[in-house]
Structure 1
Amino acid sequence: MMTAGEVAERIRTGQVTSREVTEQLLVRIAADTDVNAVVEIRPDHALAAADQADAEVAAGRRVGPLHGVPMTVKDCINVAGLHTTWGNPAFAEYVADRDATVVERLQRAGAIIVGKSNVHTMLADFGQTVNEIYGRTNNPADLTRTPGGSSGGGAAALAADLTYLEYGSDLVGSIRLPAAYCGVYGLKPTNGLVPQRGFQVPGTPDLLSELPKLSTIGPLARSAVDIRTALRATAGPEAPYSWTLTPPRHRRLEDFRVGVVTDHPSAQVTSEVGEALSETIDRLARSGAKIVEGWPDEVDPDEQGDEFGRQVELFFALHGGEPTSMIVNNLLATEYARLEARRKWQRYFEDVDVFLCPTSFAVAFPHGSTTINDQPYDAQVFWIAHASLTGHPALSMPIGHTKDRLPVGAQVIGPWHEDDTAITFAELLAG
């Protein structure tokens, strides 16, 4: 399966047309009866956009990095003319009248939004993707297993060759967990890096995006290079402000200082995940990279995991959920704890470049599971909680497969606003 960058290069150089690529993708989507990842498409619009892309190439015009590449976005991000349902029957008839900022920017980079990927109802499950409108999405590696949630549709679409690039959202690992379970790349950018206008529950005003939040939107892809391309195309504040992607700290794997933790009692990794992580760390050591074992000196992972739970409660209270019972002093204490956690990790990143750990303690599990390998369902949150709490960029990358060919993912956490350090590390590690 080609990456988005490879497709864009072939279109730019005339080896293939955007129309050919788009037609073939639409055929694959229409033929899918097993995965159920892409839930709405707009073929006429997509083919017209592909013809325009080909005309621009033929005319010798300068084109963007995603020129002519068909892709999908998660069904919680507004695309003008398409439904934005959040998997909720109450919004089944809602059609967006304006593109989200991230969609505008992807299209400006040349991408063609062919349709929407499936989500869990109201994005409310990090481990599964199912709703009453579109049904259940299955993992392409094993249809009896989950693709993760709530961006499971996008991750499954990438793994099943039903899209070339995807944009999803991540509050409680909703990009990273599906990426790990489906064997693709998924980035939770530095919090606030990608504008969220147009990522909102139907009927709620844009001004809610000004409230404090842990949620982010970010790309899923088949390569770290595609992740970087998508981030460059979409990140940064809206006009009149500007932004550039901070260069990576290193461009050779042997120059990286890599913090590693492979297990913890609160979410004990399975033997299959542990073996893949150990092999990855051994390969890193052979490359000459410096390995720094253990959690940051000041970080209590269980304490930060608990704090993340309180932050999620506050997030939902601020965004239309049940009012929190916290009094003002407690609210201030919670905010202080979040900023203090970020400070501790930033101090750690003064001496370490990236932190490598599991994305999840297990691989994709059977649909409907309430426990996973004799551990609580919520144990999936432990490994993704720390970057979510602090807002640091965190990239899930594939590092191998089990004997049953189920993907295993690892998480690369990078310094604040140094997303490309994590992306470049993953790119070099993948070889």
Structure 2
Amino acid sequence: MELCDLTARELSGLLRQRKVSAVEILESCLERIGQVDGRPGSLDAGPLTPEDEQKVHAFITLTDDRALQQAREVDRKLAAGEDPGPLAGIPFTVKDIFCVRGTRTTAASRILANYIAPYTATPVERLEASGGLMLGKVNLDEFTYGSSSESSAFQPSPRNPWNPSRVPGGSSGGSTASVAAGEAVLSLGTDTAGSIRQPAAFCGVVGLKPTYGRVSRYGLIAFASSLDCPGPIARDVTGAAMMLQAMAGPDPRDATTADLPPEDYLSQLEAGVRGLRIGLSPDYFRITFPTPDGGFEQQPLPVEIEASVRKAADLLRALGAEIIEDVPMPNTRYGIPAYFVISRVEAASNLHRYDGVKYGYRTPEPVADLRSMYRKTRGQGFGVQPKLRILMGMYVSAAQYSEQYYQRALRVRTLIRRDFETVFDPQGPYRLNALLTPTTPTAAFAMSAVYGDSVLMQYADQLTVPANHAGIPGLSIPAGLDAEGLPLGIQLLGPDFSEATLLRIARAYEQATEAEVWRTQKPAVLS
């Protein structure tokens, strides 16, 4: 097995035993990138070639020189007997929605294609301070607007390493694809409606959306500020815990971070699940669509997806957990409609800063006045998805429609939060420590199969978005392969700041399934 295919904990152990060097670990990842990634995303990519269709295309910008300097510094500290940090020598990628000083930071949009960030986002800063090696900036849906990573202005867009004809999910598709393909050991993503957990499920890796405020948003280019959550993507549960340990905690530069120190997530990983109460909800075993007449239509999830959750529940029961059936989550069905409204209002507000005046793209065409310059800059610089969100956000927040749409959506968000408070209440009828659900309603769909249908694309997030409305943590872990050999994911949801418990449950499941055949399967790009 190559070094780039090992977990963060395995590599950390080898490094500290001086069996490998940080430079050797980095070289292994760079070699893998050269083998499987193909050309990086660019604005003028031209038509796809047959070779393009077999590559991963995770990267927009490779920062190999920066990573090499960091690796040499880790090796120097080890040689001098100094502590190089808990993530020393571990290569990671960064979703190109985070600012990193001195690097191009594009948000996968033409309007920021020439933007060089003057400062570094807190999560990236903390990962590097912990000894991590930043390999580069990876691709995503433009401004994180999507669930497949296909809306990036930088093409070719990322592909799923398990089957390059399938999407990696989104918007953190480049992040999850880079980890699944062994190009990186860890990756930093963001989750606004499931944008870490959904692609993690599609690519067969671990993805964690922390509690809102657990990880600083300073330096994150905002989509919907009340929903966005930076979080870790890793090859296994321990890697996610190591990464969260490094990033979590208060930040004086972000007033929305919780004034709570991070827990020792690693110390509780092996505690097992005995005595924990884990719930199953029928509302997470179906997708509910609104109909034109104001009603709802329900469709059950595919049998193999529900079966993966129930098999996990049986395993956890055998390990000592108490499984609580038929937990009602009645407002889950409203998660996507409420998200459509709230996220568009916040996106429209955040996109107003891109005007061609202060930074980023400015139209090269002659203009008569400032208004004309704004119009042309935004018309040429934004892709379809940002334009749709601006139009919808302005519409539903207008004075004559605000009560009908925006205020109602905010009340629905409160109802979704209340559902979780009820089932997690230690004095309530259910007293759950966690809720176990599917992560996604399907495995990874084909490239171009859903792209362009904003409604259908959004419903890929129906099972993940309630956690964003409620602000609670959510963790997706691999749970097998479907009949076509594509990864399936299961999700654990818990009360505020219960990341340690979710990681503990996930680790118990990981250990219980470590001998299963599906864990020996490798993505197609590695065959």
TM-score scaled by length of structure 1 = 0.90
The CA distance in 2 between the partners of 1:405 and 1:180, in whole Å, is 13
**Does the 8 Å CA contact 2:107/2:221 hold for their aligned counterparts?**
no
Determine if the alignment matches structure 1 residue 3 to structure 2 residue 7: yes
The two structures, once aligned, show a CA RMSD in angstroms of 2.5
Tell me if 1:325 matches 2:397. Answer: yes
What corresponds to 2:301 in structure 1? 269
**Alignment correspondent of 2:433:** 353
User: What is the CA distance between 1:338 and its match in structure 2?
Assistant: 2.8
The one-letter amino acid of 1:308's match is Y
Q: 1:422 is matched with which residue?
A: 502
Matched-pair contact (CA < 8 Å) for 1:129–1:147: no
CA distance in 2, matches of 1:246, 1:308: 33
Deviations 1:282-318 (A, max 9, x none): 2222223111112336x43223443333322333244
Aligned to 2:212: 191
For each residue in 1:33-78, what CA deviation from the matched residue of structure 2 results, as whole angstroms up to 9, or x when unmatched? 3111123112222112111100101111123210111111001111
Contact 2:158 2:173 (8 Å CA) reproduced: yes
Q: Quote the Cα distance in structure 2 between the aligned partners of 1:317 and 1:192.
A: 22
Answer yes or no: is the 8 Å Cα contact 1:126–1:174 preserved in 2: yes
- Following superposition, the deviation at residue 334 of structure 1 comes to 4.3
Could you say which residue in structure 2 is the equivalent of 1:236?
A: 249
2:325 aligned to 255, 274, 293, which one? 293
| SS of residue matched to 2:219 | coil
Cα distance in 2 for partners of 1:74, 1:285 equals 37
* Structure 2 counterparts to residues 327-406 of structure 1, below 5 A: 327=399, 334-350=409-425, 351-370=431-450, 376-406=456-486
1:119-155 deviation digits (Å, cap 9, x = unpaired): 1122111133452323221111111101001110110
Aligned to 2:274: 254
Q: How many residues end up aligned between the 2 structures?
A: 420
Cα distance in 1 for residues equivalent to 2:336 and 2:141? 23
Q: Please state how far the C-alpha of 1:329 moved relative to its aligned partner.
A: 5.7
3-state SS of the aligned residue for 1:9?
helix
Give the CA deviation at 1:216.
Answer: 0.9
Per-residue displacement from partner, 1:14-49 (whole Å, max 9, x unpaired)? 110000011121121123231111231122221121
Match of 1:98 in 2: 119
Question: Is the Cα–Cα contact under 8 Å of residues 76 and 199 in structure 1 kept in the other structure?
Answer: yes
Which shows bigger deviation, 342-351 or 249-258?
249-258
Q: Is the 8 A contact 1:126 1:172 kept in 2?
A: no
Residue 184 (structure 2) pairs with residue 163 (structure 1): yes
SS at match of 1:85: coil
Q: In structure 1, what is the equivalent of residue 240 of structure 2?
A: 227
Residues 25-40 of structure 1 correspond to what in structure 2 (within 5 A)?
A: 25-32=29-36, 33=38, 34-40=55-61
Q: What's the secondary structure of 1:412's corresponding residue?
A: strand
Question: Identical aligned pairs, as a percentage?
Answer: 30
User: What is the aligned partner in structure 1 of residue 48 from structure 2?
Assistant: none
The one-letter code sitting in structure 2 at the alignment partner of 1:22 is L
In the alignment, is residue 316 of structure 1 matched against residue 340 of structure 2? no
1:3 CA displacement:
1.1
Rg comparison, structure with higher value: 2
For residues 67-119 of structure 1, what are the alpha-carbon distances to aligned partners after superposition, in whole Å with 9 as ceiling and x for unaligned?
11111100111112221111112221211121111111001111011111111
> Is the 2:140–2:152 Cα contact (8 Å) retained in structure 1?
yes
Q: Distance in 2 between matches of 1:382 and 1:339?
A: 17
CA contact (8 A) 1:72 1:116 kept: yes
Report matched runs for 1:53-72 at 5 Å.
Answer: 53-72=74-93
Residues 212 and 239 of structure 1: is their aligned pair in 2 closer, same or farther, counting only changes over 3 Å?
closer
281-290 or 384-393: bigger deviation: 281-290
CA distance 1:197–1:274, shift in 2 (3 Å): same
* In 2: Cα distance, 1:193 partner to 1:43 partner: 30
Identify unmatched segments of 5+ residues in structure 2. 39-54, 254-258, 289-298, 352-389, 426-430, 512-527
Q: 1:318 to 1:250 in 2, by over 3 A?
A: farther
Q: Unaligned regions of 5+ residues in structure 1, if any?
A: 202-208
Instruction: Determine the structure 2 residue equivalent to 1:280.
Output: 312
TM-score, normalised on structure 2?
0.75
1:20 aligns with 2:33: no
